Structure 1
């Protein structure tokens, strides 16, 4: 009875062993000369859930090509083309093959790489040649290029200072005389009228340019920062000037200016839309303000004349 059980166990073990997939490696030659190629083949007795990684840890040998995996009679065959460029004996180490999430190791193989023998008796001898110089490259001329750039820059500077600059100095400068503040303001008002801004529904732009003309006139004529001041700040400055009699104007003029500036602020920031007759009245007030807002000196000179 004991022998029967032993035979049964051995039979089952042999069946289990027979079902295990086999991994085999082979080369078409184990002896090559430097630079010659040989084939390394891995065969696996399975086709499903098989992973053949890339060749690793090759020392002294190189992979020239990795061929496509073939399926031959329920086997997977992976072929590689290898070579070696150093003489010596080199091992192709054991490779890991994964089959159904289990690791199988291949055998390692020894490859002998030999040098090509040379028959020196049949080699034709030639005289020793002279030293051949290397071809010139851009780096060889870098220092000369920099010197050339510096020289050209110096020449350009000399030409500029001694030729072009002197010619420029000889040319007469055309100076356009500035208009007097009053004349400039009147001219700008006429140009503004020609633009027909408010007539074309550009009321905001019209008031912005109209008040800029008045502020620019006040800044030039009275030497105050009218363009940068708020409405209240500018009115306070003019009232102070009027109180100390440093300008020649009236309270009515300052009130007209205040009303015009406030109307402009409403148009620009509160989207107010004045009527046509109101816009025309503001235009008249603008000219009135410029006519009746002058420094005291100028008024006295005008009276003397």
Structure 2
């Protein structure tokens, strides 16, 4: 019986020695103050097929950081940074390490976490301060800023509408008084000459504007709807006015007007192309018609008492 117990003791001792020789743990200190950090290190003999599980089952202690595994002289070294925030004595429990699919247990270590002693006699006392308000931030004023911007935009729109837009509308409403019919017609003839339409082969447009000037003069000066009348209708009306002596003109002027309007109709509707000297003559005839086609002047006799 004694021999059997001796064998069992020898076996357990050899197993424990084998365990401790393969895996070692150590800490740089076993006594810390609350919040202080210390290093916990696991060293494993061998580098092949080694599995070091995550550090778990800590009570009263916390893992701050897990450092990178180092290989030193055919050993694997895993380091951890630990700390504790509660006072007391806490164990780092045994950790299971696998080497070539065989499990090994580390030793458990006791860590004492002490509170920091405070000497209240040396603490300088300060009066109780009132509640300090938080500094102002943009969010505290953003609603007022948005309202301010909106009001400024509204005021800008009102100023623009009642000052600038009203002024612009007033300026647009100011109409330039029309020139007398004769002066207006002469001015338009000069502007037509400056365009050089027929010289640039725009003959149809030239005759359209030339006869438009003559018709516009007749309509304003004689109160005849010349712009809407055909050539024959207009000539008939003017002859009737001439016969009753309601206008001042002559047969030669009426004939020039008729020929000018007929030439214009041929250019516009029959694609006629008069020669340069004919166009220049029609321009002169238009001026003669305007000069010699006038409303009859009424003679007012003063009554003699």
TM-score range relative to shorter protein: 0.3 to 0.5
Give TM-score scaled by structure 2 length. Answer: 0.43
Mark the structure with the bigger radius of gyration. Answer: 2
